Structure 1
Amino acid sequence: MSKRDPKRLPHDFHLWTAVASTIDPLRRKGLLKMGNVPLPLPVEEPPSVAVTKAPPKRQAPRKPFLPPYQAPLPSANLPERAVDPAIRKKVGRGRIEIDGRIDLHGMTQNEARSALHGFIHARFNRGDRTVLVITGKGLKTDNDYIAAMTERGVLRTMLPIWLNEPSLSPMVSGWSVAARGHGGEGAWYVRLRRL
């Protein structure tokens, strides 16, 4: 520890002197014995009267400022058109080949929707049967903490709605979440109908 220079005053010495001038020093035992300073007499408090308070009024429970956010579930009001589980298993294991892929990462909803429409139309006219649509992360987490999952991505939520639109619905027979090897929760297998 370094020693202070006794000649140098601290930068807040003026503050210390201002505070110290407002304080009365403590009495020393020696002064009390000498009788120089009389002891203060104890002050008697008037007897307290018991005051009864009225019981507190019951307050109505507070309503939250805003209800907690819940992501819309598009599958609740849309018909479920899942890919046959046997076909999905074969595609996931690589026994049925994926005919085409489209990655919608980094696109806005309008860009992704128009790209998906063009891709599905082109693949359907070509005669392809199974395509992979990559929408991005399946689950969004706060600070990469797995227990703090909040909501699914926007493109992932919108994909079933877009596939149910009248322009794509006649071409699409079903869709399912992809296997881990193909992107897991962030990708979809889309099965197209035959021409």
Structure 2
Amino acid sequence: MKRPLKPEEQRLWSMVAATVHPLPSRFAPKTPRPQTLDAAARIEPSRAQEAKQRLREALEGIEPNRRHRIAKEREEIGARIDLHGLTQDRAKAALEGFLHRAFDDGWRAVLVITGKGVQGDGVLRKRVPEWLGEAHLTHIVAGISEAARHHGGAGALYVALKRKPRT
């Protein structure tokens, strides 16, 4: 997967993106974009944008080769948790405790089973990636990816964990 942009790269990209104008069409944005690089440099992201950016960075997908190793079980799935039937509060608490234990035990990949929901729009299926992107888990979670079909497919997630620092 792509690596996250460094702050300097992000600043340069925002300046370049500010100079790009879409072709005229009926789907043109209603808000005007900054016309100069100086205007783009002065724009500061709101809290919501910062939160979304942190979530995107935390939820970068697992590197394709690593995901392949996990799916083919060449990299061991250290533990599994099934969140079926739990309320959001209980599921979040169980997930956080599970991730901390797995990280402390030195596991590098775990499987989180959320289920798909009645029509593929389950609450836990939507919320678990948000929870995994929260700031207090960034030192644990390296990335997430939808599980392979034989591990649950769309109803499960591979969670790659970071290496535990040596002490």
TMscore range, shorter length: 0.5 to 0.7
Distance, in Å, in 2 between the alignment partners of 1:81 and 1:193 is 13
Q: What TM-score results when the alignment is normalised by the length of structure 1?
A: 0.54
Q: Which amino acid aligns with 2:110?
A: V
**Match in the other structure for 2:105:** 126
Deviation at 1:95, TM superposition (A): 1.4
Q: Which amino acid aligns with 1:172?
A: V
Q: What TM-score results when the alignment is normalised by the length of structure 2?
A: 0.62
Identity %: 50
**Match in the other structure for 2:83:** 104
Matches within 5 A, 1:18-37: none
Deviations 1:36-61 (A, max 9, x none): xxxxxxxxxxxxxxxxxxxxxxxxxx
Distance, in Å, in 2 between the alignment partners of 1:92 and 1:193 is 18
Whichever of the two has the greater Rg, that structure is 1
For the pair 1:177 / 2:146, whether they are aligned, the reply is yes
Which 4+ residue blocks in structure 1 deviate beyond 4 angstroms? none
For the pair 1:90 / 2:59, whether they are aligned, the reply is no
Distance, in Å, in 2 between the alignment partners of 1:127 and 1:94 is 17
**Match in the other structure for 2:135:** 166
Structure 2 unmatched ranges of 5 or more: 1-50
1:191 to 145, 160, 166: 160
Distance, in Å, in 2 between the alignment partners of 1:166 and 1:86 is 26
Deviation at 1:133, TM superposition (A): 0.2
Query: Which of the pair has the greater relative contact order for Cα pairs under 8 Å at 6+ separation?
Result: 2
**Match in the other structure for 2:47:** none
Q: Which amino acid aligns with 1:153?
A: G
- The structure richer in helix per residue is 2
